[in-house]
Amino acid sequence: MLENPPCQLYLISPQDVGGDFPLALEAALSAGPVAAFQFRVKDIDQHEAARLAEPLQEICAAHDVAFIVNDSVPLAKRLKADGVHLGQSDGDVGEAREELGADAQIGVTCHNSRHLAMEAGEAGADYVAFGAFYPTETKQVEHVAELETVEKWSAVMEVPCVAIGGITPENAKPLIDAGAEFLAVSAGVWKHPDGPAKAVEAFNALLKT
């Protein structure tokens, strides 16, 4: 059995990243270790997306946090982002690698399917994402993932897996114990009643146990 590295936090942006959101991101990243931040903003043109992304990318760079763009290889390339996260209909891993280069971090949504995850890994993905594990308001849930998927994947596969979907400090422990290398969290941080900094602290307290 492979020995899994410690689980890490992977933040996903809310839809609205304007206004005071850069302050919220700064607070979150200052509160404790975060491995990556995914810029996930839908239905705006690339110029507006790039404008919104720029200050967030600078904050991530200052905290040594990987800046990942959701869905769009062209936007990731324009921003010189650290990587891209692809849904099942967002393009080919090999083509993304060709566009973004050998060092880009490329992740793929695999729902609850180890078969899709194996295909992504064979195509050169740097990580695979399983979910949703819990009810979530961040996006419409079409696929519900099972804890067993993470357990079986992490036991035998070297490609890291990300758990996503409705994860909070209160329900994250089973996913950590199952072997998820990353917890992808959005509302669980940005909508935490005590604020994003306290949420990151709570998650990191769990990840250290």
Token look-up 């062209």 returns 74
Instruction: Note the pTM of the prediction, 2 decimals.
Output: 0.96
Q: Is the pLDDT of residue 4 over 80?
A: no
The number of beta carbons lying within 10 Å of the beta carbon of residue 159 is 19
Q: What is the pLDDT of residue 143?
A: 80
- Quick one: DSSP state of residue 22? H
173 touches 155 (CB < 8 A): no
Q: What is the pLDDT of residue 2?
A: 46
Report the first-to-last Cα separation within the chain, whole angstroms. Answer: 21
The number of beta carbons lying within 10 Å of the beta carbon of residue 1 is 7
**What is the Cα–Cα distance from 85 to 82, expressed in whole angstroms?**
10
**What is the Cα–Cα distance from 76 to 28, expressed in whole angstroms?**
23
Token pair recorded at residue 101: 């280069």
Domains of the chain (ranges; CATH) run 8-170+185-207 (3.20.20.70)
Token pair recorded at residue 187: 């509302």
Average pLDDT over residues 30-40: 97
pLDDT tier at 96, thresholds 50, 70, 90: very high
Q: How many CA atoms lie within 13 A of 77 on its CB side?
A: 11
